[in-house]
Each structure stands twice: as C-alpha cells, then as structure tokens.
A and B are shown apart, each in its own frame.
Chain A
Amino acid sequence: MSVTSETLAPPAALRPLAWLRKNLFSNWFNALLTIFSLVFLYFALVSIVRWVFFTADWSPVTIAPLLFLIGQYPRDQLWRPALSMLMCVFLIGLSWAIWERYVKAFAIFLGVLLGVLALIPLETPTITLGVRAVFLACPVLIYLGFWIGRRLEVKGKYIVTLWLLASVLITLVLLPGIRSIPGLPAVPTTAWGGLLVTLLLAVGGIVLSFPIGVLLALGRRSSLPVVKLFSILFIEVVRGVPLVTILFMFSIILALFLPAESRIDRLLRALIAMVVFSAAYTAENVRGGLQAIPEGQVEAAKALGLSSFHITFFIVLPQALRLVIPNIVGQFISLFKDTTLVVIVGINDLLGIGNAVLNLRPEFVRLQMEVYLFIAIIFWIFSYFMSYASLELEKALGVGER
C-alpha cells in the first residue's frame, strides 16, 4: 500500500459572517431562537440598566458603606481594619507574582474596584478622606507586592508563611486588641461585622477545616481502631446534622454547659461550628479521592522501602487531592455562602448588617431589593473568583496526567 506523503492543512477557521450563519442562523428555527433571544436580552438589559441607575434607591448602601465593610468596629480604631486590609492586599499582590494563573484576575479586579471606590464622587459622611486614601493605597500596594514578588523571585513557601503570620497578627492581635498594649484597646467581637466577619468566617473555616478534613479522611482508613472509630463517628454524626443545628449547638447549648468565665467568644464558637461542619464534608470528598488511587501505587512505594508516612504524603494524598479539588472548591464556595447562616446566632456578618441597615430608617424597609442585590453581588464576586481559580488549577494539574 502506498502512503500519501502529502499533508493536509487544517480547515481554516470560519470568518465572522460564516460563523454567524453556521452557529446562529443555520435554519429557520435556529434563526427564530436567535432573534428571540436578542430581543429578550435587549429588553432585559434596558430595564436592568434603567432600574439600577434611575429607579433604584441605593441610599441604604451609600449612607453607611463602612457598616457593610466592618460593622460596628469603633470608628476611632479604624486604622486597625485598615492596616489589616492593606497587609492583605499587599500579600495578594505578592501572590499574584508567583501564582499568576490563579490570582491575577482577582488581584486586578480588586485593585480596580478599590481604586474606583476611592475616587467615586459620592457624598457619604463616613467615607472620610482617610478612608479614601486607604482604598486608593490598595491598588498601589497590590502592584507593589506584585513588583516586589517578581523582582525578588519570592518563593511560594515564604508567601504562605507571610499569609499565616499576617492572619495570626490580624485575627489575634490587631483586630481584637490586647489590653496590655497601649493604643490597642480590646475590641470585642460583638462589634465586628460586615464583610470583615464574613471573610474571617469563610477564610478561617476553609483554612482550618481543610487539614482537619484530610486527617479525618486518613483516620477513617487508619489501621488503628480507635482513630478509625473516632473519624467515622465524627464524619457521620456531623454529616447527619444541618449546619444551622451545629451552629446553635456550639453557640447556645455549649455556652449553657460551660461555666461563664470559660466561655469562648461568640464569633469563635461560630467559626468552630463552621470548621467542624466543613471538615466532615472535606473528609468525605478526600476519601473519594483516596479510594480512587490504585493499590499498585502503594505497592510500588512500599517495594521501594518508603514508610507509610511518606507513602501517604508523597504518593497517595497528592494524587487523591488533585482528583477531588473541584469538589472541595465547590464545597468551599458553599461554605462561603453558608457563612450567612451565622445571622441566626446573632452575628452581624454581611447579611446581618444588611438586615440591620434595612431597619435603620423607616423609609429603608422597602429597599430590600437594593440591599440584598448589593450583598448578592459581593458574594458572587468572591465565589466567581474561587471557581475561576479552581478551574485554572484543574487545568494546571492536568499536565502530568495521561
């Protein structure tokens, strides 16, 4: 048989007009659908734009933007959340430098958003020049972080360490304050609120529940009966109970049983509840990944003389985790949204603040649409960038796969 040596060029990409015809107007039904959709989109857009810019009354949001950001955090201590925010955006910039694929879009979006917020010509008494300066500093710091990260070729592990240090500093020193340090008066968590609390619960919940969940998943497969039993009990009990119930248990019932002086902080209790809840689901997700790793992997590692510790952390877990990353990120996005449930135990997260603002003035009561939409958009932004990063991560991890 003779083999043709001639190679064919790939078919040329369709030109715009041809593309339109092929994809949107291939037959009369398709054309009808296209036209109908366009008309629908047009009217929807027009009415949305009209509502957003002319009908809607955004005064509940614009009158107290700081409330949405930090709740009742004492206004004479504003520098503390401000400094926290500046540290975070700087680290976001640094992270952008080395995890460009995942962080870049979010970093740029955040920088632009904060920059615009700083310059927006709205007369709101609470947005002082100082606050605007802080907002304006954010894009600068993001870029500075990026620039430094690139310049010094900062390693990932140092950035992770910096993030950990910053979170400890922010959550244990800067925000709550320490009585013995002058200039850092204690601010009870009851005064914290808004996006600050939402992010603390979400980030804290995610970061703390992940390792616990992984350990539980490993514990469930442990050869030690006690460890195994504990892990199974923990996972199954928690998964059988709604988050609301767990929140109530930790917030109210626990408080009843513990002596008053040993009571843990209310916000901390809510955080622990979220961690407990999320850890059980992480464990189940990770377990799925662990089960998918072929026995041959473990055998090959054993045959090389690797210890079970090394086998778990170098061979099995990395492969298992990459399999379940999409699930886990999905679960974290749910957790992020579920933080709104803390409203029911009296914590003023973003949603709680929204409710509070609606009750601020009688004329606000009919402006629920505006307030909830505003909150929804904030949640959407964060969720969107999380799933964006997850998709990128999936793509990146696909590299070594067959």
Chain B
Amino acid sequence: MTEESQKREPIIVCNEVHKWYGNFHALRGISLEVYPREVIVIFGPSGSGKSTFIRTLNRLEEHQRGTIIVDGIELSHDVRNVEAVRMETGMVFQQFNLFPHLTVMQNITLAPIWVRKWPKDQAEQVATELLERVGIPEQADKYPGQLSGGQQQRVAIARALAMQPHIMLFDEPTSALDPEMIKEVLDVMVELAKSGMTIVAVTHEMGFARAVADRMIFFDKGEIVEQGTPHQIFHDPQNDRTKLFLSQILHH
C-alpha cells in the first residue's frame, strides 16, 4: 500500500467475509480494504474463489458472514443498498454477457436511461464518447453477434462505464478471448487504470499487473494467501503456494 492511499478512507471494506455453497466453504474469512484510485489484481488457481469473492462485492453472490461496505454502503438484505452499490460499481464478465437482442448503443444506454433516468440524448452522447474511448465508435448500430470477441468485451466495458461507476470489477475479462484480441482489451483497461479508476480485477495477465497494479492478491482455497506490490510478488514471494503458482504460470 502506498503512503498516500493510507491517508484516505477505503472505498471497499471487507471484514471476515465467509461464503458457503451448501456445505462447501468457498470463502474463508476474506478481509480486504481497497482505496480510491487503487488497482488490485487478484490471481490464483482455478476454483480458489476469486470469482465468488469479486461477485460478493456487488452482491451477485450473497456472503453469509462478515461485512462488506462499498462506497460507504453496507451490503445486506436491504434491496435499496444492493441497488445503490450496483449503481456505483461496474462489472465486466469473462463471457461479455452483452444483450444480444439490443444494439451496441442500446446495450450501453439501457441502464443510464432506466436507472440513472438520463434523457435519451444525453445517454447516447455519453455512449458515443465511451465507444470512442474504447476504440470502436463505428459499431454503435451493430448487434453484439456481429462483433468480434475483443470488440464485444470493449462494448461491455463501455456499458459498465456508462453508469459512471466509482469502482470497476473485472472477472477474467480476457480469458475467453482469442490471443490476438487480448491486447485491445488490456489496452482499454490500462488506460482506465491510468485515468484513476478504482479497479478490482481477477486476471492472470501478468503484464497488465506489472504495468498498473498497485497491489496483487493471491487467492487459494478461499483465502487470501499473500498480498503485496507487483514487485514484491514477482521478485520476493513469501508463501510457498504463491511461489509454486507463479512458477506454473510464468514459466510456460
């Protein structure tokens, strides 16, 4: 953690978060604070609970013990709190999850119009700017099915940004992409990170982590095993499991 970030209030506070699927203990006491403008990369073996954790942050999954406070709002059974948190957080999924029956423009403007209650003109103007920002201004009137994977994922990022969230959550945004399309998505994410967005990203793109992450968090078996700056993690990992995992993904 940088000195600067410690002075500020955290924007996400997780305290002893537990989650079970039936009898399966998926999250075993996760505590984490994320500060504004911070970029966090979460990595770890498949099935270690990374997706489960990031999805508790906007309550796509309910946690059963512990507290999660996002942007000052506690996630609880109160639907209003949940909706408020979801308005402040954007999420990008591995499978894009664009709405196939809506055009790119409609995908992006749907939530601003119906949740933020913006007039259509304003929403479309913002959407146009965002499409420009992610580099596909000419695709506004196409349907998702007519775009490449990389373009779809960039639309998904624009769709999340259109709600003007304070926090962006990414769950393996490049894992479903063909290799030649990964870069175009990572470029957008790097630009976003540099613009000061608070980001929590589950990803194994170590180049991205090196370039922009403030902190890397290693997940295993539902726990945070180790965390530190990219420099610490790559050059001086403390835990054996971290070392083993890094050696597996780095020396291929």
Specify which chain B residues have a CB less than 8 angstroms from the CB of A400 in the assembled complex: 100-103, 143-145
Chain A 150-167 per-residue mask, 1 if CB under 8 angstroms from chain B, else 0: 000000000000000000
A302 touches B100 (CB 8 A): no
Binding site for A on B (CB under 8 A): 58, 60, 83, 86-87, 89-91, 93, 95, 97-103, 110-111, 114-115, 143-146, 156, 159-160, 163, 169
5 sampled A-B residue pairs with Cβ under 8 A: A300-B99, A304-B110, A306-B111, A307-B115, A310-B115
B114 touches A303 (CB 8 A): no
Alpha-carbon separation in the docked complex, A310 to B95 (Å): 22
Partner of A303, one of B60, B98, B143: B60
Query: Measured between C-beta atoms, what is the minimum distance from A234 to chain B in Å?
Result: 28
Specify which chain B residues have a CB less than 8 angstroms from the CB of A51 in the assembled complex: none
A305 touches B83 (CB 8 A): yes
B145 touches A302 (CB 8 A): no
A299 touches B93 (CB 8 A): yes
A304 touches B101 (CB 8 A): no
| Contact of A10 with B by CB under 8 A | no
Alpha-carbon separation in the docked complex, A296 to B51 (Å): 13
Specify which chain A residues have a CB less than 8 angstroms from the CB of B144 in the assembled complex: 400, 402
Specify which chain B residues have a CB less than 8 angstroms from the CB of A302 in the assembled complex: 58, 60, 86
| Contact of A104 with B by CB under 8 A | no
Determine chain A's interface SS by DSSP, over half rule: helix
| Contact of A261 with B by CB under 8 A | no
| Contact of A74 with B by CB under 8 A | no
Specify which chain A residues have a CB less than 8 angstroms from the CB of B87 in the assembled complex: 305
Alpha-carbon separation in the docked complex, A297 to B110 (Å): 13
Q: Determine, out of A116-124, A278-286, A312-320, A367-375, the stretch whose residues face the partner at the interface.
A: A312-320
The closest CB in chain A to the CB of B83 belongs to A305
| Contact of A401 with B by CB under 8 A | yes
Alpha-carbon separation in the docked complex, A401 to B142 (Å): 11
Query: Measured between C-beta atoms, what is the minimum distance from A365 to chain B in Å?
Result: 56
Q: A305-B111, A310-B114 are in contact. Are A297 and B163 (CB under 8 A)?
A: no
A319 touches B60 (CB 8 A): no
A401 touches B145 (CB 8 A): yes
Partner of A307, one of B83, B102, B163, B169: B83
B95 touches A304 (CB 8 A): no
Chain A 350-389 per-residue mask, 1 if CB under 8 angstroms from chain B, else 0: 0000000000000000000000000000000000000000
The closest CB in chain A to the CB of B55 belongs to A299
Partner of B159, one of A299, A304, A310: A304
The closest CB in chain B to the CB of A314 belongs to B110
Q: A304-B86, A399-B143 are in contact. Are A299 and B97 (CB under 8 A)?
A: yes
Specify which chain A residues have a CB less than 8 angstroms from the CB of B60 in the assembled complex: 299, 302-303
B163 touches A402 (CB 8 A): no
B97 touches A402 (CB 8 A): no
B97 touches A300 (CB 8 A): yes
| Contact of A322 with B by CB under 8 A | yes
B97 touches A297 (CB 8 A): yes
The closest CB in chain A to the CB of B85 belongs to A305
A401 touches B100 (CB 8 A): yes
Partner of A322, one of B98, B101, B163: B101
Chain A 266-302 per-residue mask, 1 if CB under 8 angstroms from chain B, else 0: 0000000000000000000000000000101101111
Query: Measured between C-beta atoms, what is the minimum distance from B120 to chain A in Å?
Result: 14
Partner of A296, one of B95, B115, B143: B95
Specify which chain A residues have a CB less than 8 angstroms from the CB of B160 in the assembled complex: 303-304
Alpha-carbon separation in the docked complex, A296 to B144 (Å): 15
A303 touches B86 (CB 8 A): yes
Specify which chain A residues have a CB less than 8 angstroms from the CB of B86 in the assembled complex: 302-305
The closest CB in chain B to the CB of A308 belongs to B79
Q: A318-B101, A400-B101, A401-B100 are in contact. Are A296 and B93 (CB under 8 A)?
A: yes
Specify which chain B residues have a CB less than 8 angstroms from the CB of A306 in the assembled complex: 110-111, 114-115
Specify which chain B residues have a CB less than 8 angstroms from the CB of A318 in the assembled complex: 101
The closest CB in chain A to the CB of B103 belongs to A400
A303 touches B90 (CB 8 A): yes
Alpha-carbon separation in the docked complex, A22 to B159 (Å): 53
The closest CB in chain B to the CB of A321 belongs to B101
Query: Measured between C-beta atoms, what is the minimum distance from A345 to chain B in Å?
Result: 42
Alpha-carbon separation in the docked complex, A306 to B97 (Å): 15
Specify which chain B residues have a CB less than 8 angstroms from the CB of A315 in the assembled complex: 99
Query: Measured between C-beta atoms, what is the minimum distance from B239 to chain A in Å?
Result: 32
Query: Measured between C-beta atoms, what is the minimum distance from A402 to chain B in Å?
Result: 3
Query: Measured between C-beta atoms, what is the minimum distance from B12 to chain A in Å?
Result: 15
Partner of B114, one of A300, A314, A402: A314
B99 touches A297 (CB 8 A): yes
A305 touches B95 (CB 8 A): no
Alpha-carbon separation in the docked complex, A173 to B174 (Å): 62
Chain A 16-53 per-residue mask, 1 if CB under 8 angstroms from chain B, else 0: 00000000000000000000000000000000000000
A300 touches B100 (CB 8 A): no
Alpha-carbon separation in the docked complex, A300 to B93 (Å): 8
Query: Measured between C-beta atoms, what is the minimum distance from B82 to chain A in Å?
Result: 9
Specify which chain B residues have a CB less than 8 angstroms from the CB of A296 in the assembled complex: 93, 95, 97
Alpha-carbon separation in the docked complex, A38 to B169 (Å): 68
The closest CB in chain B to the CB of A303 belongs to B91
| 8 additional A-B residue pairs with CB within 8 Å, beyond A303-B89, A305-B83 | A297-B97, A302-B58, A303-B86, A304-B86, A304-B159, A306-B110, A306-B115, A314-B110
B101 touches A300 (CB 8 A): no
Alpha-carbon separation in the docked complex, A402 to B145 (Å): 4
Alpha-carbon separation in the docked complex, A240 to B100 (Å): 36
Alpha-carbon separation in the docked complex, A315 to B100 (Å): 9
Alpha-carbon separation in the docked complex, A303 to B103 (Å): 19
Query: Measured between C-beta atoms, what is the minimum distance from B89 to chain A in Å?
Result: 7
Specify which chain B residues have a CB less than 8 angstroms from the CB of A319 in the assembled complex: 99-101
Alpha-carbon separation in the docked complex, A238 to B124 (Å): 47
Specify which chain A residues have a CB less than 8 angstroms from the CB of B115 in the assembled complex: 304-307, 310
Specify which chain A residues have a CB less than 8 angstroms from the CB of B90 in the assembled complex: 303-304
Interface-central residue, A294, A296, A322, by most chain B CB under 10 Å: A296
